Amino acid sequence: MQLDKLLILILLIAFLVRIFPLGFPSFTSDEARVAFRGYSLATSGKDELGRSFPLFFNSSTDYQFPLVSYLTAAGELVFGKNDLGVRIPFILISTLLVFVTYKIAEFFNNNRLFKLSSAFLVASNPVLIFLSKIPNEIIVLTTLFAWLFLLLVKQQKLMIIAVVMILTVLTSKLSLFFLIPFTYLTLFKQKKQAVILAMIIVALGLILFFSNEQARRSFIENNFSLFSDVTVKNGIDKLRGYGYEAGWPKFIDFVLFNKLHYLSIGLLHWLSYFSPVLYSGQLDPSGLLNYFSLGAWTKILIIPFLLGLLHLIRAKTNAKFLIGYAVLFTFPALFNYPKLDLTLIILSMPFIALVMSFSLLKLNRLAVILIFCIVIPELFLNIYDVVPQEKNSVDLRPNWVSGLVTNIDQTAKSETTLVSDDIVSDIGPLIEWYTNFNPQDGFEQLKSPYKFTQYQIGKVRLLGAQQIFTTCGIEEKIIIYASPRDLKKIKRDFKPIIDSTYSDSNNKIRVYKITNTCIR
Amino acid sequence: MNTFHGIVMNKLVIFFLAFFILGFLFFSFRITDVPPGINGDEAAIGYNAALVAKTGHDSSGRFLPLFVSAFDLTDWKQPITFYSTVLAFKLFGPTFILLREVSVVFVLISAILIFLLGRELMGLKFAFISLFIFITIPSVLIQSHLALENIAPVPFTILWLLMLAKYKNTFKQKFLYLGGLFLGIDLFSYSAVRIIFPIFCLLSIGFVYYLNRKKNFRFKICSILKFSVIVAIFPFFMLAIKDQYPGAILAYNRPHGVPTYQEFVISYISSYDPSFLFIQGDSTPYHSTGKQGVFLLATLPLFVFGIWRIAQRKDPFLILILLTFLLTPAFYGLAASIHRGSRLLSLLPTFTIITSFGAVELFKLKKFWKNLAIFIICGLIILNYLDFTRDYFYDYPNRVKSEFAKPYQLVFEKAGQLVKSDDFTPYIQSDFRGQNEIAIDFFEQTFPGNLKSWKEGQAVPAGSVIIVSDYILAKKKEIPQFNTGEGFGLLINQTKNAIR
């Protein structure tokens, strides 16, 4: 197989923009947990809670599927406990996605511009670049589904297809939602065996998933808020509550507000996933999933996207079905009301790149060059000017805590050390990741942890909101790293001695090291 | 043939007449109660229009001004809505209901024009569908109840499109002149049109050029010039009078920073958020119920289908309609306008045509699917619209009560009745105006007779009715009162003696 030299250049660029700057973005607490888990698995074969090679993992928001954790472990096994070790598997997977997109483009049209522009668009996609630098399910799932698409349309052997399908199921529970419709849409009745295979794998995945008690709980809690969460405005329980209050007969309430409610409310919610602003304006202002001032694509690409859409609507080819993938991948949103799960949008990126590339074929070469000339500066200005990004996500991706937790770790070696639990959300994994923490010191006796937060990290103990403070006895020596919440509580009763303070990336004091206060 | 044409025309005139009467009754329903109180901009238009209708001078003393200043030169009203209101006040006398009914007339004229545009494009069936789609748009009902300028560009946008459609069908040059004329007048209908105007001009020029693409170069240029010369008169005229109306034309009083690339693009593309267009609507409570979008949700499938079918067909006018819809807010980034449906009403005509086209294309499906689709979509549109109107007429006023001014009309109307029927002398508490100066100025203009000033501490004159705050009502419990429950009311002295 002779590779196009320009493709090699695009792959090289894709790899380089993904690997540099290596330390950006800083990890969230959950990502730090995966990073530390990878180290623990690589060195001891146990996860951060001491369970040997588990299938499902703990997380602060949901139950995590295994593939991402084991990929992280593989990276750290080779490169050690550092940024490169954690990030390299995802950087490589994301670079592979560029190549897979090129091969998919080849299937639709052998035109060199079409293939290369498809690959380039994926290589320069901001959200794919961002996500390739952190341990996460979405970049893996996006690559796997693109690969699966390629295997399906090229009618490859069922064994290989089965392996990729299994990998998608092991990556994220999202794949359980759309593996079957994805296979069906891609093949469009051409190869029924693959659809049946997808059904079997999804069924096995569901059995595996529901055999785990905590996974069942996760499924109910995270997917049926429309039923269970009374804070949801149009939630079924809430609407039924109104009905009872108004004295409606129980039967009418049941008829009006039942599982069919998903069809109306869920569909409206789904509609919000097709907002052009998310794709070309601003995907995630929080900086969790993307550079905060960029959409899923750089802005100018809305033009080739619309033109590509117009071209495909008019065209009489199977490529028309590419439009359907954006609709298909956002389909689980129906069950996720009212949370806007932006990750669903990202899965369709390679397919949208193909839609855009169809229009580039029709455009004047000068216009194509002009579009790329606008894409590149916007992209580079955002991905290399990381300071505003760090300031924007000071709570979510707190890179400033690395110095703090190193000091906490040093203190904990000689003194009893307490840390407020609201310095940042779930600081435990950050302490474990940024210090030389020994995984065995954090092992807990838990079989099926779910949304479990560790409050004892080796010698460091976290302080909750209910903690009561007191003065220290003669022999007592405790160091407290207090948040403004706890400092306020301490100051209410006596005068603390503040040894030092720690500021965040916005130069706001976030932590006070207090040496004369103890706890009751 | 002529007789047949005459019969059709007669029937159409009767239909328009019936539509106008029924439409007027529907859109005027609860017009002074929904929204509940007068908006500051409504009051500014009403007050100045009443003054101009009476004296020819506005509140700043200018004689028949082209632009009217409101709120001490910080905001300026455009002439189309303003002089329509002046005309209505001149004919029927200033009242609150009439102030808002001017917008109803704008809506009904727009509806008839959209019917004519539909008929010009694809015949009577398409015209009726367009009319139905247009009048069931939630923002149309909402704007018909507001005495504001937002709805004013709609008839002119339709007229501009109608003239281009007629030009496409007949190639008569007069329609180019008329298209330019209506687009030019549009510039004076609403301030936001100034950032839409260049796009409409470019699209028109492109359209005329495309239609004449097979003609020689000179002919093409001449056709474009015929449109351009007429349309260019209006912005040049605007520039010529900029020294007389610098605030109104150049908005020096409202400096706005140059938007970043990010802001510019986001303002534009956020105009097409489906959740904004079809679920939540304008971001302000004045222009949206918050429970319905700018457009009716049930028409979304027809709209998407319409876009799909227009993209498949190579009809230049439908492509113009689609491009107009997609490019109208292209420069909205200059005004940092995000999710302001009230500023996007120029989209109504193009949305109506696209959606109606989707409906017409639906009729081309196989009989079973056609009937099923029509049954479901019509059912959903009717249900959706009924749900919207129920909420708009009855629940929405209670939800947004705090956002609007108090319903001063209640107390002015009651006092007016007493003055007329029982010959009371009307007074107003001297510091009452401070509650909402512009609104009370307007209601004073609608009042039958001169309101004399009355101060707290003075005796309540014999045979008088005094508009007072509830503070005074609470202090003078011994005097007969009319309390609106809104923070003000009337003191009514029916006796022949003054009461201390």
DSSP per-residue codes, B439-457:
HHHHHHHHSSSPPEEE-TT
Q: What ranges do the domains of chain B cover?
A: 2-399, 409-493
Residues A309 and A432 in one domain: no
Task: Give residue B137's pLDDT band: very low, low, confident or very high (50, 70, 90).
Answer: very high
pLDDT, tens digit, for every residue of A94-125?
Answer: 999 999 999 999 999 999 999 999 999 999 99
CA pair distance B115, B131, nearest whole angstrom: 5
- Taking an 8 Å cut-off on Cβ atoms, the answer to whether A314 and B273 are in contact is no
- On chain A, the residues whose CB falls within 8 A of the CB of B273 are 272, 275-277
Residues A354 and A432 in one domain: no
Rounded to a whole number of angstroms, the distance from the CA of A276 to the nearest CA of chain B is 6
Angle, vertex CA B196, rays to CA B195 and CA B201, nearest 5: 115
Taking any CB pair shorter than 8 Å as contact, residues of chain B touching chain A are: 261-262, 265-266, 269-270, 272-276, 278-279, 297, 300, 308, 311-312, 326
pLDDT, tens digit, for every residue of B290-344?
Answer: 889 999 999 999 999 999 999 998 899 999 999 999 999 999 888 878 899 999 9
Per-residue pLDDT at A250:
78
CA pair distance B142, B146, nearest whole angstrom: 7
For the cut 70, the answer to whether the pLDDT of residue A189 exceeds it is: no
Beta bridge partners of B469: B488
pLDDT, tens digit, for every residue of A293-311?
Answer: 999 999 999 999 999 999 9
In this structure, of A334-343, A364-373, B91-100, B142-151, the range with the lowest mean pLDDT score is: A334-343
- On chain A, the residues whose CB falls within 8 A of the CB of B312 are 313-314
pLDDT, tens digit, for every residue of B79-107?
Answer: 999 999 999 999 999 999 999 999 999 99
Q: Mean of the pLDDT values across residues A63-72?
A: 94
For the cut 80, the answer to whether the pLDDT of residue A493 exceeds it is: yes
In this structure, of A417-426, A501-510, B102-111, B365-374, the range with the lowest mean pLDDT score is: B365-374
Rounded percentage of chain B residues whose pLDDT exceeds 90 = 70
Counting every residue, how long is chain B?
500
For the cut 60, the answer to whether the pLDDT of residue B276 exceeds it is: yes
- Taking an 8 Å cut-off on Cβ atoms, the answer to whether A299 and B279 are in contact is no
Looking only at the bridges linking them, the beta strands covering A478-482 and A416-420 are parallel
Looking only at the bridges linking them, the beta strands covering A478-482 and A509-514 are antiparallel
Residue A230 falls within a domain, yes or no? no
- Taking an 8 Å cut-off on Cβ atoms, the answer to whether B261 and A378 are in contact is yes
pLDDT, tens digit, for every residue of A392-445?
Answer: 999 999 999 999 999 999 999 999 999 999 999 999 999 999 999 999 998 988
Contact between residue B88 and residue B130 where contact means Cβ atoms under 8 Å apart: no
- Taking an 8 Å cut-off on Cβ atoms, the answer to whether A271 and B269 are in contact is no
Nearest to A401 by CA among A257, A267, A510: A510
Task: Give residue B385's pLDDT band: very low, low, confident or very high (50, 70, 90).
Answer: very high
CB contact set of A341 (below 8 Å; sequence gap of 6+): A332, A333
Mean pLDDT over the full length of chain B: 92
For the cut 60, the answer to whether the pLDDT of residue B255 exceeds it is: no
- On chain B, the residues whose CB falls within 8 A of the CB of A378 are 261
By Cβ distance, the residue of B270, B279, B311 closest to A277 is B270
| Total tally of structural domains belonging to chain A | 2
Per-residue pLDDT at B128:
96
For the cut 90, the answer to whether the pLDDT of residue A446 exceeds it is: no
Q: Which of A41-50, A54-63, B455-464 ranks highest by mean pLDDT?
A: A41-50
Contact between residue B263 and residue B333 where contact means Cβ atoms under 8 Å apart: yes
- On chain A, the residues whose CB falls within 8 A of the CB of B276 are 275
Per-residue pLDDT at A513:
96
HEC string of B324-350 equals: HHHHCCCCHHHHCCCCCHHHHCCHHHH
pTM, full prediction: 0.89
To test the contact with chain A by mutation, choose from B260, B262, B310 the residue with the greatest count of A C-beta atoms within 10 A, namely B262
* Rounded-to-10 torsion of CA A477, A483, A485, A488: 60
- On chain B, the residues whose CB falls within 8 A of the CB of A314 are 311-312
Per-residue pLDDT at A1:
66
Residues A356 and A416 in one domain: no
Residue A505 falls within a domain, yes or no? yes
For the cut 90, the answer to whether the pLDDT of residue B31 exceeds it is: yes
Residues A384 and A406 in one domain: no
- On chain B, the residues whose CB falls within 8 A of the CB of A280 are 265, 269
Residues A69 and A203 in one domain: yes
The residue out of A392, A425, A457 marking a domain boundary is A392
For the cut 60, the answer to whether the pLDDT of residue B1 exceeds it is: no
Q: Mean of the pLDDT values across residues B266-294?
A: 92
By Cβ distance, the residue of B270, B297, B311 closest to A313 is B311
Contact between residue B468 and residue B492 where contact means Cβ atoms under 8 Å apart: no
Q: What is the ipTM of this complex?
A: 0.83
Per-residue pLDDT at A91:
98
CB–CB contacts below 8 A, A to B: 50
Determine if residue A53 is left, alpha or beta; phi over 0 gives left, psi from -120 to 50 gives alpha, anything else beta.
Answer: left
Residue A252 falls within a domain, yes or no? no
By Cβ distance, the residue of B266, B270, B312 closest to A313 is B312
By Cβ distance, the residue of A271, A274, A277 closest to B266 is A277
The residue out of A364, A392, A420 marking a domain boundary is A392
Contact between residue B133 and residue B352 where contact means Cβ atoms under 8 Å apart: yes
Q: Summarize chain B as % helix, strand, coil (round to 5).
A: 65, 5, 30
Per-residue pLDDT at A266:
81
Angle subtended by helix axes A66-79 and A158-171, to nearest 10: 90
For the cut 90, the answer to whether the pLDDT of residue A214 exceeds it is: no
Task: Give residue B162's pLDDT band: very low, low, confident or very high (50, 70, 90).
Answer: very high
- Taking an 8 Å cut-off on Cβ atoms, the answer to whether B311 and A274 are in contact is no
CA pair distance B232, A276, nearest whole angstrom: 34
CB contact set of A75 (below 8 Å; sequence gap of 6+): A38, A84, A85, A86, A87, A88, A89
Q: Which residue has the higher pLDDT, A197 or B9?
A: A197
Domain of residue A481, residue span: 401-519
pLDDT, tens digit, for every residue of A78-98?
Answer: 999 999 999 999 999 999 999
In this structure, of A187-196, A417-426, B59-68, B73-82, the range with the lowest mean pLDDT score is: A187-196
Residues A375 and A448 in one domain: no
For the cut 80, the answer to whether the pLDDT of residue B20 exceeds it is: yes
What one-letter code names the amino acid at A176? L
The residue out of A367, A392, A417 marking a domain boundary is A392
